[in-house]
Amino acid sequence: MRKEIIKLNVGPQHPSTHGVLRLLVELEGEVVVSCDPDIGYLHRGIEKLMENRTYHRSIPLTERVDYLAGAANSLGYILAVERLLGIEEIPPRARYIRVIVAELTRIASHLFWLATHGHDLGAMTPLFYALRDREVIMDFFEKWAGKRLFPNMFRVGGVAKDFPDGMEQEIRKFAEELPEKMKDYETLLTKNPIWINRTKGVGVLSIDEVLDWGLSGPMARGSGLDFDIRKVDPYLGYDEFDFVVPLGKNGDTYDRYLIRLEEMRQSCRIILQALDRMPKGDIMIDDYKVAFPPKEKVVNGEYLIPHYLLVVKGFKTPKGEVFHHTEAPKGELAFYIVSDGSEHPYRVKIRTPSFVNLQVISKLAKGRLLSDLIALIGTIDIVLADVDR
């Protein structure tokens, strides 16, 4: 029998690569000998663009880093800028709105992951269920911000707009019903023998490997590493919420599937607690050197001039450097901002979870079947915009 290595190009245009990922795979029969990801097809130079913009004008750019979890990215950026400015307290209502939107974003991102991951491995039905529920979250964002994927509503010092009337009840209804609906997804997959065969024992990672490869998010927790930034380095007052960080035992694709499902349930718990505690009141700090004054007051010169200066010139920040990390749906999202004291950041580095997590695929795919590679792309949960920035 003749043995030879076949070189196969997976992507960049292929539905199961979740965007424009190109994998150069060498195959011996059906077994992967080596796998080299080729990324950069979606590189937009966001870091360079941010160096030339004022701090506020960068917010829409940051939302487009991970386009399935837009609000989670601008949240990380805003928190980094606030740390740079030394803003420690924002009005409680604004803080709870941020928490609710961040958790809704996490659910939306995980639902999309469930839809595509299931679909990649041959389960069609979860796609329809999950996208139906994700659509509800998109509608919330549309009602609140006028935009579905990128609400673009977080500002330095608060949020730009309060929730419209009645939306709090709608979100509560959604968060109460979702865990019930998720039982349907579980009946489709959790005990399905095909699903178990395709995911159990695929892409196994030990804790040492997780640390060596710098993995975060469900990729780290799947192997049992207790690392959720909401718990270990709380921001936005996450320490006051009662929620559990699910951990896996075997570190395989199946465990990471269970973890993401559980995270959605925990996010619902956080949303319900935040809705219970959310007071009425301001949604923006009143330091108009850095924060926008309320829109209805901008007719008055006292508010008009700071508003004008903020839009046209931006604000100056103290000289220094800050690093702020948040638990984005896909893992650790960190912003490192170096400021030279001007209105523009001197350097911004966006440490995205997908970029770091994707790296491990060449190690995991080696010696596995080509069909496992598709499961691995799904379980790492990448968005190519997040990889390439």
Partner 1 sequence: MDIKKYTEKILSALPKEAVKSVQEFRGQVSLIVESERIIDVLKLLRDRFGFRYLIDLTAVDHLPNEPRFEVVYHLWCHAEKRLIRVKTFAKGEPPTISSVVGLWSTANWHERECYDMFGIIFDGHPDLRRILLWEGFDGHPLRKDYPVEGRDEKRNN
Residues of this chain that interact with partner 1 (CB under 8 A) are 39-40, 43, 45, 47-49, 51-52, 83-84, 86, 211-215, 225, 227, 232-233, 320-323, 325, 332, 334, 336, 338, 346-347, 349, 351, 355-356, 359, 363, 388-389
Nearer to partner 1, 83 or 265 (CB): 83
Least Å from the CB of residue 55 to partner 1: 16
* Nearer residue to partner 1 within complex by CB, 108 or 229: 229
Compute the distance between CA of residue 309 and CA of residue 288 in angstroms, rounded to an integer. Answer: 10
Distance CA 258, CA 165 (A): 35
Q: How far is the CB of 300 from partner 1 (least distance, A)?
A: 34
C-alpha span between 191 and 249 (Å, rounded): 17
Identity of the residue, 81 or 261, whose beta carbon is nearer to partner 1 in the bound complex? 81
Residues 6+ apart with CB under 8 A from 331: 215, 216, 217, 218, 219, 220, 353, 354, 356, 357
Dihedral over Cα of 350, 351, 354, 358: its sign:
positive
CA distance 188 to 194: 11
Whose Cβ is closer to partner 1: residue 128's or residue 323's?
Answer: 323
Least separation in angstroms between residue 52's CB and partner 1 is 5
* Contact between 63 and 78 (Cβ < 8 Å): no
| Residue 228: CB minimum distance to partner 1, A | 11
Minimum CB separation of residue 119 from partner 1 in Å reads 28
Using the minimum distance from each CB to partner 1, give the nearer residue, 52 or 197.
52
Report how far residue 341's alpha carbon sits from residue 300's, in angstroms, rounded to the nearest whole number: 30
Q: Rounded CA gap, 182 and 125, in Å?
A: 13
- Least separation in angstroms between residue 211's CB and partner 1 is 5
Nearer Cβ to partner 1 (32/384): 384
Give me the helices (H) in 32-191, please: 46-51, 59-63, 70-85, 92-120, 125-145, 167-189
